[in-house]
């Protein structure tokens, strides 16, 4: 029997996060609350390409472009998960935070009385992309809520 009615889902659209989203939808009962946490790693905050952008105007233009792209991606993630939550008759809320992923997850877990936290597993070695390292020693030593780490999808699903 499923007893998790208030779930924190940490997801940002990678393959591992998408697997976590699917598992969350399977585990939630109708009427449950799904809180979606999207963490934009701090490394993006200073990403201006200073090494090749040689004047302030060009750097500002690039920064605005990058912020717009990140914003568009975050909006797409929110829309996708929100729509799935609605289809599964779940109450949905979200937070978008800039910070260190593990610290943001730990902070978010303390702000509400969640029954379960669901995250995707890290990207396997050899797979391209950013490794956000959400579940670290900081999390495993300080978390007070059960955490489900959903396995990375196998090659047959790629």
Please answer whether residues 39 and 132 qualify as being in contact, where contact means their C-beta atoms are separated by less than 8 angstroms: yes
* Cα dihedral 9, 10, 11, 14 sign: negative
Write out pLDDT tens, residues 115-146. 999 998 877 777 766 555 666 788 888 989 99
In a domain, 52, yes or no: yes
Nearest Cα residue to 13 out of 72, 61, 58? 72
How many domains, the chain? Answer: 1
In a domain, 91, yes or no: yes
Domain that holds residue 45: 6-12+25-114+130-157
Q: Give me the CATH number covering residue 38.
A: 3.40.50
Task: For residues 9 and 125, give the distance between their C-alpha atoms in angstroms, rounded to a whole number.
Answer: 24
pLDDT confidence tier of residue 158, bands split at 50, 70 and 90 = very low
In a domain, 1, yes or no: no
In a domain, 119, yes or no: no
Q: Which residue has the higher pLDDT, 35 or 120?
A: 35
């Amino acid at each position: 029997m499923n007893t998790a009615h208030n779930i924190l889902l940490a997801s940002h659209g990678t393959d591992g996060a998408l697997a976590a989203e699917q598992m969350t939808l399977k585990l939630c009962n109708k009427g449950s609350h799904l809180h979606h946490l999207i963490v934009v790693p701090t490394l993006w905050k200073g990403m201006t390409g200073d090494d090749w952008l040689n004047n302030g105007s060009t750097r500002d233009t690039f920064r605005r472009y990058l912020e717009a792209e990140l914003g568009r991606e975050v909006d797409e993630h929110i829309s996708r998960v929100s729509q799935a939550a609605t289809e599964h008759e779940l109450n949905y809320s979200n937070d978008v935070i800039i910070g260190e992923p593990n610290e943001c997850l730990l902070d978010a877990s303390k702000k509400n009385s969640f029954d379960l936290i669901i995250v995707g597993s890290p990207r396997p070695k050899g797979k391209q992309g950013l490794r956000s390292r959400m579940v670290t020693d900081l999390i495993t030593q300080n978390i007070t809520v059960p955490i489900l780490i959903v396995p990375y999808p196998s090659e047959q699903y790629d």
